[in-house]
Structure 1
Amino acid sequence: MKKKIVIANWKMNYDLHETTFFIRNFLKIIFERKINHNKKIIISPSFPFLYISNQILQGTSLRISAQNVHHMDKGSYTGEVSASMLKSIGISKVILGHSERRGFFFEKNDVLLKKIKISLKYGLKIIFCIGETETERKKDQQFDIIKNQLEKTVFHCSPDEIKLFCIAYEPIWAIGTGKNATYKQAQTMHEFIRYLFLKKYGEYISNQIYILYGGSITDLNAKYFFLQKDIDGGLVGNSSLKMEKFLKIIKS
């Protein structure tokens, strides 16, 4: 049985003190309560705190992920961070394609494909986000949108490269809004995504690929999402900033 994955996406929250205080205390609590068994826990702090966060977690089963990476190897890109920089400080995972990157920073599929390729070049594991808007769902376009997002990006990769991927389905209308996809809606989409991987890469990869749900996951609803057949864990936003809530999500 695959371990469930729970990822804390802290976005642009927590300064140095808050980040290190949370991680040190979180680490102490999960080992004291023995609640990290059979789970993979990943924390994604802001760029300035990746190195120290990674140092704190050395020798533990917890892992650190970056929230983004630039699509070029190096150059005159003020304020950006490259894959080689992440690799040089021991970071092995990165979140790509988050709807906030797509929306606020206008990242399109062609740029995301370049980010995928540069991340793979440096051996970074990729948490790749896909999802539809509320308007697209109301028009019953959600399956076409998801298929297109995968075909224009992830499906350009070889079977060996796919082993470095984890997919996160996040309906855009449910991110930070308090709205949720129903458990049935989430399972139906996850089943569809797994079917797309089956058609493209075969049964083994389809079964092995992690598909996570994200979209206003809380300590109250996480259990029901994680019970769904094709949901392998969650990408958690706001609720991961509150330690007790995040711990309850992990336990669920």
Structure 2
Amino acid sequence: MADRRKLAAGNWKMNGTAAALSEVTALAGSQGEARCEILLCPPATLVERMAREAEGTNIAVGGQDCHAAESGAHTGDISARMLKDAGATYVITGHSERRADHGESDEIVRHKTEAAWAEGLTVIVCVGETLSEREASNTIDIIKGQLAGSIPDQATGHNLVVAYEPVWAIGTGKVPTTDQIGEVHDVIRSQLERRFGPGVGRSVRLLYGGSVKAANAAEIFAVENVDGALVGGASLKADDFGGIIAALDG
């Protein structure tokens, strides 16, 4: 649909120090006329500085995760309120690395998403299957379960983005076929429409993530119901990410 603005989101993961902020300036310079929305999610130590660097540009800044609580005895965690205070307008929840490395369940992801919405942040909720689940032909059931358990009832096209990231494709160089990507994105769209109604269900942007790079971006973006990408390593450098943005704009 024409009213779903394309989104190129970069997840820097645990990469980047102050020196990397020059990439924001470079990206703004090369992609200042981009029609799609551009988002960078750096490590928490850089959120405030990146938000300042991006001020006045077309680049939004987000967090990579947040705690479900507003504050409290949660050493090492960061709340949605803190991210907003630092200048973030987005946050990622439910990334497979959080689910796997920190044992985050759908319920935890849902609570984090609710906390982020309470602070006015737009949330990118991640879903995706492992290689064993794909090989066992369980992909669709896994995706449906994660959608049902991770997304709260208050979803709208403004506060929610869904990213499909097959775990086996993240950082491996392996990419599902366009038919496989299309199948899952179609299922996500239909599930959202069924649960939230066609208005909301059709307005939520769906991103693909998993070894996206400039060389394969155009083919992926041509798939129906793919409204952009959640990009890992290829978002760390302005030149690499710029090629993906150009493909999305094209």
Q: TM-score, normalised by structure 1?
A: 0.94
Displacement of 1:105 in angstroms is 1.1
Residue 66 of structure 1 is matched in structure 2 by 63
Q: 2:243, 2:112 → 1: CA distance? A: 33
Number of matched pairs:
245
List gaps (5 residues or longer) in structure 2.
none
Residue 136 of structure 1 is matched in structure 2 by 133
Q: Give the secondary structure class of the aligned counterpart of 1:56.
A: helix
**Residues 1:226 and 2:245 aligned together:** no
Runs of 4+ in 1 over 3 A off after TM superposition: none
Q: 1:93, 1:243 → 2: CA distance? A: 20
Given residue 234 of structure 1, which amino acid in structure 2 is its aligned partner? Answer: A
Displacement of 1:62 in angstroms is 1.3
Mapping of 1:212-251 within 5 angstroms? 212-251=207-246
Displacement of 1:102 in angstroms is 0.5
Q: For 1:125-155, what per-residue CA distance to the aligned partner results, in whole angstroms no more than 9, with x for missing partners?
A: 101100001111111111110111111121x
Given residue 238 of structure 1, which amino acid in structure 2 is its aligned partner? Answer: G
**Residues 1:26 and 2:66 aligned together:** no
Q: 2:203, 2:86 → 1: CA distance? A: 29
Residue 167 of structure 2 is matched in structure 1 by 172
Displacement of 1:78 in angstroms is 1.0
List gaps (5 residues or longer) in structure 1.
none
Q: Give the secondary structure class of the aligned counterpart of 1:65.
A: strand
Query: What's the C-alpha RMSD, in Å, of the aligned pairs?
Result: 1.2
Given residue 63 of structure 1, which amino acid in structure 2 is its aligned partner? Answer: A
Residue 157 of structure 1 is matched in structure 2 by 153
Residue 11 of structure 1 is matched in structure 2 by 13
Which of these residues, 97, 109, 129, is aligned with residue 100 of structure 1?
A: 97
Given residue 39 of structure 1, which amino acid in structure 2 is its aligned partner? Answer: C
Q: 1:244, 1:28 → 2: CA distance? A: 11
Given residue 77 of structure 1, which amino acid in structure 2 is its aligned partner? Answer: H
Asked if 1 retains the 8 angstrom alpha-carbon contact of 2:129 and 2:143, the reply is yes
Q: 1:159, 1:209 → 2: CA distance? A: 9
Asked if 1 retains the 8 angstrom alpha-carbon contact of 2:23 and 2:237, the reply is no
Displacement of 1:251 in angstroms is 0.5
Q: 2:228, 2:31 → 1: CA distance? A: 18
Residue 187 of structure 1 is matched in structure 2 by 182
Which of these residues, 21, 40, 43, is aligned with residue 43 of structure 1?
A: 40
Given residue 17 of structure 1, which amino acid in structure 2 is its aligned partner? Answer: A
Residue 123 of structure 2 is matched in structure 1 by 126
Q: Which has the higher contact order (CA 8 A, sep 6+)?
A: 2
Which of these residues, 205, 211, 235, is aligned with residue 206 of structure 2?
A: 211
Q: TM-score, normalised by structure 2?
A: 0.94
